[in-house]
């Protein structure tokens, strides 16, 4: 409930946790790198003096760690829009200021008293170089670690989407086995989807969504149902949508709802439009427009494309429509890109 009321708490807590872990890691690394060397040189020493020396080193390491961690966090989350060169330059300036500031206020009482340093100035000079090295190593390590974590997260997301795509491909294949789908068209579409997914997951999803829509439409058609104009037009448009290129225009259907229930030969529109679009030039956008009207005792279906249809496809469709419905097919207004199918009907 609290996460619902305060949606920004979780990101804030995660950011604070990351910042505290970085401070602890940088301070711990600095304490170990300096403490081990100094304690080895100062051996033997009194336990109380050794403890005071470790406390002094830790007190000098914490401001450096806090400054570096805070600067790195700010530049990671607030300077993403900056150009990389400008971002790294600003981060370098910030690190230099932090190193100079923390080195100027370094405490040296215990180190001087134990004879580890001749003066505070000598210790400050040593601290400058030590802090600079620690800061650069910390920035390099933490930056690379976060980039690796983000890359791993992105890889996991992509692997999950690819697995989902494989499941969808399997489902589509199973559906196709029960439909009247052209097997060659199915294999071509699935092959395109497999090639598209690694390069563009969104485009692969869209391609499978269009194929699923086409399969759902074909599976919804019962073998005992009468073939109607509206359903055949939707089937042809769905098949065109599966095979369309990026530059193609959508299949436009302009049919009065009253005419959608008129009888029409099955698969005639889908096969004709499929062969029509397959013959179109590759470098030319494809488009189809279907309209219907009644003229006396006939149903007239108009098909206009972006290129002339193949002559053999027109001849085959003319024979099929004459055999199945007693109609005929002709070029409208002597336009080689405009066909009209006329079918006699009884109402």
Q: What averages of pLDDT result for each successive group of 10 residues across the chain (347 residues)?
A: 43 75 80 67 61 72 80 71 72 78 68 59 68 76 70 73 68 51 69 78 81 77 69 88 84 90 86 88 90 88 92 89 82 88 74
Which pLDDT score, from 0 to 100, does residue 292 have? 93
The residue whose two tokens read 């989807």 is 193
Which pLDDT score, from 0 to 100, does residue 122 have? 64
pLDDT digits (tens, 9 = 90+) for 293-311: 988 778 899 999 999 999 9
Long-range Cβ contact pairs of 234-239 (< 8 A, separation 24 or more): 235/267, 235/269, 235/270, 236/269, 236/270, 236/272, 236/273, 236/274, 236/290, 237/288, 237/290, 238/210, 238/213, 238/214, 239/185, 239/214, 239/270, 239/273, 239/274
pLDDT digits (tens, 9 = 90+) for 6-31: 444 445 677 788 778 888 887 777 77
Which pLDDT score, from 0 to 100, does residue 290 have? 94
Which pLDDT score, from 0 to 100, does residue 160 have? 75
Long-range Cβ contact pairs of 50-59 (< 8 A, separation 24 or more): 52/110, 53/110, 53/111, 53/114, 53/116, 56/107, 56/108, 56/109, 56/110, 56/111, 57/30, 57/31, 58/27, 58/31, 59/107
Which pLDDT score, from 0 to 100, does residue 7 have? 43
* CA 272 – CA 269 distance, rounded (Å): 5
Among candidate residues 148, 346, 175, 138, the one with its CA nearest the CA of residue 262: 346
């Amino acid at each position: 409930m609290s996460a619902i009321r305060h949606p920004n708490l979780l990101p804030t807590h995660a950011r604070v946790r990351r910042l505290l872990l970085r401070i602890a890691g940088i301070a711990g690394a600095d304490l170990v790198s300096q403490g081990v060397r100094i304690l080895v040189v100062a051996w033997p020493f009194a336990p109380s003096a050794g403890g005071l020396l470790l406390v002094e080193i830790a007190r000098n390491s914490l401001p450096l760690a806090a400054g570096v961690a805070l600067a790195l966090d700010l530049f990671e989350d607030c300077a993403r829009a900056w150009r990389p060169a400008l971002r790294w330059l600003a981060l370098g300036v910030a690190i230099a200021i932090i190193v100079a500031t923390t080195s100027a206020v370094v405490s040296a009482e215990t180190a001087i008293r134990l004879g580890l340093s001749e003066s505070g100035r000598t210790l400050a000079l040593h601290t400058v170089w030590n802090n600079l090295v620690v800061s650069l190593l910390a920035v390099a390590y933490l930056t690379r670690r976060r980039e690796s974590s983000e890359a791993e997260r992105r890889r996991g997301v992509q692997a999950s989407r690819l697995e989902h795509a494989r499941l969808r491909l399997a489902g589509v294949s199973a559906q196709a086995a029960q439909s009247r789908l052209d097997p060659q068209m199915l294999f071509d579409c699935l092959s395109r989807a497999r090639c598209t997914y690694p390069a563009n997951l969104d485009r692969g999803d869209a391609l499978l969504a269009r194929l699923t829509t086409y399969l759902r439409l074909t599976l919804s058609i019962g073998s005992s149902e009468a073939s109607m104009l509206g359903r055949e037009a939707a089937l042809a448009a769905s098949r065109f949508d599966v095979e369309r290129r990026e530059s193609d225009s959508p299949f436009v259907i302009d049919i009065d709802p009253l005419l959608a229930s008129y009888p029409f030969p099955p698969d005639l529109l889908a096969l004709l439009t499929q062969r029509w679009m397959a013959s179109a030039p590759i470098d030319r956008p494809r488009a189809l427009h279907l309209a219907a009207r009644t003229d006396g005792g006939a149903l007239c279906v108009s098909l206009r494309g972006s290129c002339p249809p193949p002559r053999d496809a027109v001849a085959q469709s003319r024979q099929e429509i004459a055999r199945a419905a007693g109609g005929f097919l002709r070029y409208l207004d002597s336009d080689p890109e405009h066909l009209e199918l006329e079918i006699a009907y009884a109402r």
